[in-house]
Amino acid sequence: MIEQLKSRVTEKLKDHPKRLQHVFGVYETACKLAIIHGVDQEKAAIAALYHDYAKYDTIEEQIQHIELKLIKQYAEYPVIYHALAAAISLEQEFMIKDQDILNAIRHHVWGRPKMSDLEKIIFISDSCEPNRKFDDASLIFETATKDLNHAVLLAMKASIDYLYQKGLLPSQEQLEAYTYYQEVNRGEIK
Ligand SMILES: [Fe+2]
Ligand SMILES: [Fe+2]
């Protein structure tokens, strides 16, 4: 299964070597964190390898199988479509029904409140895999080896800060997830 996914994604992203490197970086990082935190390593590997599968499909291709309600919901944030499309493709082409794997892919861009450990690991790994060169990437990884909730918060903050730097606004959904993990890290939510 893993070898099959590796060759599928390598073929799919063959014209995007940087992205392919990123995907394999997420894979390595997610496997490490899965071992440390007792999360199923195969599930982490599958989600990591497939999370950006639809990244370079056209918007038309990405939304082809997404339900209309979600297409409308994310019309202002089309970056989300590649995540939803990848989850659909994995389910349809590889018969993966495991909702934890599919959710980890669906929510890898912003994260969300109440993530499972697998979701957290994919979200964090996407942010801090070794090819990510921003200042806090290694800090996020180091933190994640000890405390996933703290690392989620740092990764969310890095992503939101990056948007502000580019003069863009984070979505309500992204801010809600960030607020949720601020509360978790203050011990207000168990
Ligand atoms: Fe992505
Ligand atoms: Fe990614």
Q: For the chain, give percent helix, strand, coil, nearest 5.
A: 70, 0, 30
16 in any annotated domain: yes
Residue 55 CA to ligand 1 center (angstroms) comes to 7
Give the CATH number of the domain where residue 31 resides.
1.10.3210.10
Q: What is the pTM of this model?
A: 0.97
> What does the pLDDT read at residue 155?
98
Average pLDDT over residues 146-157: 98
Residue-number span of the structural domain to which 66 is assigned: 2-134
The dihedral built from the CA positions of residue 134, 140, 145 and 151, taken in this order, carries a sign that is negative
40 in any annotated domain: yes
Q: Which of 21, 98, 23, 95 is nearest to 54 (CA)?
A: 23
Q: How far apart are the first and last CA of the chain?
A: 35
pLDDT in tens, 9-66: 999 999 999 999 999 999 999 999 999 999 999 999 999 999 999 999 999 999 999 9
Residue 52 CA to ligand 2 center (angstroms) comes to 5
183 in any annotated domain: no
118 in any annotated domain: yes
> What does the pLDDT read at residue 133?
87
The domain total for the chain is 1
Residue 51 CA to ligand 1 center (angstroms) comes to 6
Residue 188 CA to ligand 2 center (angstroms) comes to 30
pLDDT in tens, 71-118: 999 999 999 999 999 999 999 999 999 999 999 999 999 999 999 999
Exposure b/e, 110-144, CB count within 10 A at least 16 = b: bbbeebebbbbbbbbbbbbbeebeeebbeebbebb
CA distances from 172 to 14, 143, 175, 186 (A): 35, 26, 5, 21
